[in-house]
Amino acid sequence: MALRPFRWLPHDGGRHAVDVDLVAHDRATTLCGEELVIPAAPATKREWCWPTCAECDAAWRAVEGISPFPRQRSGFRCARSTTLQHQV
């Protein structure tokens, strides 16, 4: 068993928490209740920049005994690539 019971996985525009022991093609339910199939391909850099699901984050923090996030979340921001900056 892993040290932590959950891992993060990009899905449907957000990063969600799923059981750490799941592998590719397993059916899963995220901590917020989304049903999905664990993908075989690794997530892209862009997908890792999706915002963290607030419900998964709150549930994860409760299980880990971590205080709730102290401020309202606007989502995680990654630096935009040079290509995207030139398109704006």
pLDDT of residue 68: 85
pLDDT of residue 75: 57
pLDDT of residue 76: 55
CB neighbourhood size of 32 (10 A): 16
* Ordered mean pLDDT values, 10 residues apiece, the chain (88 residues): 86 97 97 97 97 95 86 54 41
CB neighbourhood size of 31 (10 A): 20
pLDDT of residue 86: 42
pLDDT of residue 69: 77
Q: CA-to-CA distance for 49 and 75, rounded, in angstroms?
A: 9
